[in-house]
Amino acid sequence: MFVGTDVELPATVKRFLDEPTRTMLIGDEWTAAQSGRTLDVTDPATERVIANVPDAGEEDVDRAVAAARSSLEGSWGRLMPVERQDLMLRLADVVADRGEEIAHLETLEQGKLLEFSRLVEVDMAVDYIRYMAGWATKIEGSTFEISPRQPEGVRYHAFTRREPVGVVAGIVPWNFPHLMAVWKIAPALATGCTIVLKPAEETPLTALLLGELILEAGFPPGVVNIVTGYGESAGAALVRHPGIDKVAFTGSTEVGKQIGAEAMRNMTRVSLELGGKSPVLVLDDVGADFIAGGMVGGLFFNSGQQCVAGSRLYAPHARFDEMVGRIADYADFLKLGSPFDPNVHIGPLVSKAQQDRVLGYIESGREDGAEVVVGGKSPSSTGFFVEPTVIVDTDHEMKIVREEIFGPVLVAMPYSDLDDLITKANDTDYGLAASVWGQNISRVLELLPRIKAGTIWVNTHSVLDANMPFGGFKMSGVGREHGRAALDHYTESKTVCIAY
Ligand code: NAP
Ligand code: MG
């Protein structure tokens, strides 16, 4: 079902959009690209161009890295941890105060429901900044006894310090643009690093607004720089820049591999949060409504554009038709339409390219002999919508089972016993996340160590938190974000050994 609506935007968002060309933030300057080139930003629900932003090149990246370096070696580098904490807490307040503006802008450029922009892009971001602010005052090393035999009278004292890794390049995708920007910026700020952030080409607007708010909160210029542009030009220039000490990347496995290889040329530190094809393992004691409701949040939320999306479902043979039938009923019930409309459940995909990609996958499934039970097409001629889709009669040879679709598409398969279930769940190049659904706690606990994934949820899916380490096994990445784990890769460990 499709619902359309006209939207009245807050005056502040209109002001933001009325500027004919947005500039980007380098040091304390709002600047165009040196080349003068720009790129368009499109509202995916209406296909209208809503803004254009600088298309940064190598020379702009050079300036941004220089601004970040000079800030690291200047006043920012000399701040006490408590001063960084206070600035971050002020930033969290400013982001919360301007939350409606951020949420509207995010829904406009990305297409996620306004309600979720408020909850995820704003509230979770505010909580995340506050959480990371707390770590600024708790960065610590260790002390060691050392073991070599020593001449009479010589003793040693050894300890480690954790020091900021330096200038960070944060490169983020378009699925949760504001939250992802904060996930890169906040640990950098907490650990005393500086950062150059490159948002995705489709969704640069909330990152630019965040840049405004960072200056408003009182951060010294150059601590955070926002450079807009394309991955192949601005992004690649950042990754190979010798002035970058660490790359924090979230995006596809394909680009992640290139970035990892490029970073290693300069021994640039790198953390990679990549794609997934996360399995949903349903045991035979689960109610059909329970799992169907779970798939709304675990897959269809954000039009399936979640790296952790539970996109492969395995249900017991005997209950397969019942469970998948119920999921199809729920999928069919979901209303598509303007993400500003409170009666709508599913907004558009982010871009025409993404819509074509998702529809292409569904078509390839059909060609391979799979059956589309529900959905499978675009419901309107305007806007990049794809219906929530459930596909059966699939097997592990098919592209739709092996590759990340990044849209509202579920492939469902039956299993015979728990060994079959585990074999199928692990038969993937990815290892980002998984969920197990079951009432018998002993059976659930037995499965957990056998699943190869960085995060496993039980009786839920897609729950992320600042305090829970997050990252992938296998092709889903390198390193862990969030929690104490994040601090390790935004700092270097320095060992000190003193003879006395
Ligand atoms: P993408 O194409 O890999 O792009 C991600 C970012 O990298 C964008 O800013 C992109 O710029 C930039 N980029 C592209 N090529 C580059 C290069 N050669 N050098 C440096 N930067 C480059 O991914 P996407 O399509 O935006 O996002 C979807 C993917 O992200 C999915 O695979 C999803 O699973 C993954 N993801 C993972 C997580 C996680 O935490 N594990 C979270 C969310 C999303 P452009 O915008 O100009 O292309
Ligand atoms: Mg891209």
**Ligand 1 pocket, 340 CB below 6 A?**
no
Q: Whose CA is nearest to atom 46 of ligand 1?
A: 200
* pLDDT value of residue 22: 83
DSSP 337-396: E-TT-TT-SB---S-HHHHHHHHHHHHHHHHTT-EEEE--S-S-SSS-----EEEES--T
Taking the centre of ligand 1 as the mean of its atom positions, its distance from the CA of residue 236, in whole angstroms, is 12
The answer, yes or no, to whether residue 1 has pLDDT greater than 80, is: no
Of 252, 357, 468, the residue with max ligand 1 atoms within 8 A of its CB, to mutate for a pocket test, comes to 252
The answer, yes or no, to whether residue 8 has pLDDT greater than 80, is: no
Q: Whose CA is nearest to atom 15 of ligand 1?
A: 231
* pLDDT value of residue 387: 98
Name the average pLDDT for the chain.
96
Say what percent of the chain tops pLDDT 90: 93
Q: Whose CA is nearest to atom 12 of ligand 1?
A: 231
The C-alpha torsion from 415 through 419 and 425 to 426, rounded to 10°, is -150
Q: At residue 473, what is the residue type? A: F
The answer, yes or no, to whether residue 40 has pLDDT greater than 80, is: yes
Confidence of residue 6 (pLDDT cuts 50, 70, 90): low
Of 24, 110, 172, 250, the residue with max ligand 1 atoms within 8 A of its CB, to mutate for a pocket test, comes to 250
Confidence of residue 293 (pLDDT cuts 50, 70, 90): very high
Taking the centre of ligand 2 as the mean of its atom positions, its distance from the CA of residue 230, in whole angstroms, is 8
Quote the distance between the C-alpha of residue 220 and its chain's center: 26
Alpha carbon distance 376, 366 (integer Å): 10
* pLDDT value of residue 392: 98
Find out whether 143 and 169 touch, Cβ atoms under 8 Å.
Answer: no
* pLDDT value of residue 294: 98
Confidence of residue 5 (pLDDT cuts 50, 70, 90): low
More confident residue, 7 or 208: 208
Annotated active-site residue in 106, 109, 202, 273? 273
**pTM greater than 0.85 (yes/no):** yes
Kindly identify the ligand whose nearest atom is closest to the C-alpha of 481: 1
Quick: pLDDT tens for 358-402: 999 999 999 999 999 999 999 999 999 999 999 999 999 999 999
**Ligand 1 pocket, 251 CB below 6 A?**
yes
For the question of residue 307 being annotated catalytic, the response is yes
Average pLDDT (102-121) is 97
Q: Whose CA is nearest to atom 43 of ligand 1?
A: 307
Confidence of residue 9 (pLDDT cuts 50, 70, 90): confident
Lowest-pLDDT range, 7-16, 93-102, 278-287, 370-379?
A: 7-16
Confidence of residue 14 (pLDDT cuts 50, 70, 90): confident
**Ligand 1 pocket, 290 CB below 6 A?**
no
Q: At residue 111, what is the residue type? A: G
Taking the centre of ligand 1 as the mean of its atom positions, its distance from the CA of residue 284, in whole angstroms, is 37
Quick: pLDDT tens for 122-168: 999 999 999 999 999 999 999 998 888 888 889 999 999 999 999 99
Q: Whose CA is nearest to atom 42 of ligand 1?
A: 307
Quick: pLDDT tens for 117-130: 999 999 999 999 99
Quote the distance between the C-alpha of residue 252 and its chain's center: 10
Taking the centre of ligand 1 as the mean of its atom positions, its distance from the CA of residue 103, in whole angstroms, is 22
Kindly identify the ligand whose nearest atom is closest to the C-alpha of 171: 1
* pLDDT value of residue 149: 83
Average pLDDT (318-339) is 98
**Ligand 1 pocket, 239 CB below 6 A?**
yes
The answer, yes or no, to whether residue 79 has pLDDT greater than 90, is: yes
Find out whether 116 and 301 touch, Cβ atoms under 8 Å.
Answer: yes
Alpha carbon distance 337, 385 (integer Å): 8
- The neighbouring-strand residues paired with 226 are 25, 197
For the question of residue 73 being annotated catalytic, the response is no
**Ligand 1 pocket, 197 CB below 6 A?**
no
Say what percent of the chain tops pLDDT 70: 99
Confidence of residue 55 (pLDDT cuts 50, 70, 90): very high
Kindly identify the ligand whose nearest atom is closest to the C-alpha of 479: 1
Annotated active-site residue in 121, 201, 307, 481? 307
* pLDDT value of residue 3: 63
Quick: pLDDT tens for 426-470: 999 999 999 999 999 999 999 999 999 999 999 999 999 999 999
The answer, yes or no, to whether residue 339 has pLDDT greater than 70, is: yes
Residue with tokens 């948002």: 199
